[in-house]
Amino acid sequence: MKSKRRSKTQYERSFLGHLVFWGMLISISSAIFIINTSMSINEDFTNGVVISFFIYPLLGAIVAWKNSEPEKDGIFSKFKSLFTRGLWFSVLSAILFFTGLIFSENGINISTYLFFGGAFLSLWMSIGSNMITNYSYKRGFGDALAMSMGQLIIVFLILIVVSSILQKFNKR
């Protein structure tokens, strides 16, 4: 009998990727616990959970920068390598999510579920796309999740810079 050999794919995992993944998991669980219980929970703990939702995407931007795969040496090549398929799926996810929020203000109907479902699906597609690398290994789930959030923060910062530059030109 021959035993089947399983192909072992190596996953690259970083400390920040693990920190973002487990931190988000704990923060989401804590937020659900805080919302669904009538216990008097310390206000500092509640504020910490809310602040953590802003800190983890910033850590994700560091993971995205670290895991970018530039073609050449230099900062512009590294910056250009952040614009991957995973980034565009993340942007699509954010657009669908906020459109679903706008539709939910008028009452929850089938279009709200479609937008939220599309946002969830495109977020998973972003994570899956960020797991793929140009090398023989794959990124771990935590790194891919952190990269998806970090890429959104980077695009948001780019939009802020471009809009402030355009605003300066409009004043003239």
Q: For each successive 10 residues of the chain (172 residues), what is the average pLDDT?
A: 52 79 86 77 78 85 79 75 84 90 85 91 90 75 85 84 87 73
Residue 117 has a pLDDT of 93
What backbone phi and psi angles, to 5 degrees, belong to 37? -120, 155
- Residue 132's nearest CA partner among 143, 116, 117, 121 is 143
Residue 122 has a pLDDT of 93
Q: Look up the domain containing 33 and give its range.
A: 14-171
Return d(Cα 2, Cα 85) in angstroms, integer.
40
| 12: number of Cβ within 10 Å | 14
Q: Is 74 exposed, middle or buried (0-12, 13-18, 19+ CB in 10 A)?
A: exposed
pTM of the model: 0.72
Residue 6 has a pLDDT of 46
Query: How many Cα atoms within 13 Å fall on the side-chain side of residue 94?
Result: 13
Residue 157 has a pLDDT of 83
Residue 115 has a pLDDT of 92
5 within domain boundaries: no
9 within domain boundaries: no
Q: What is the number of domains present in the chain?
A: 1
2 within domain boundaries: no
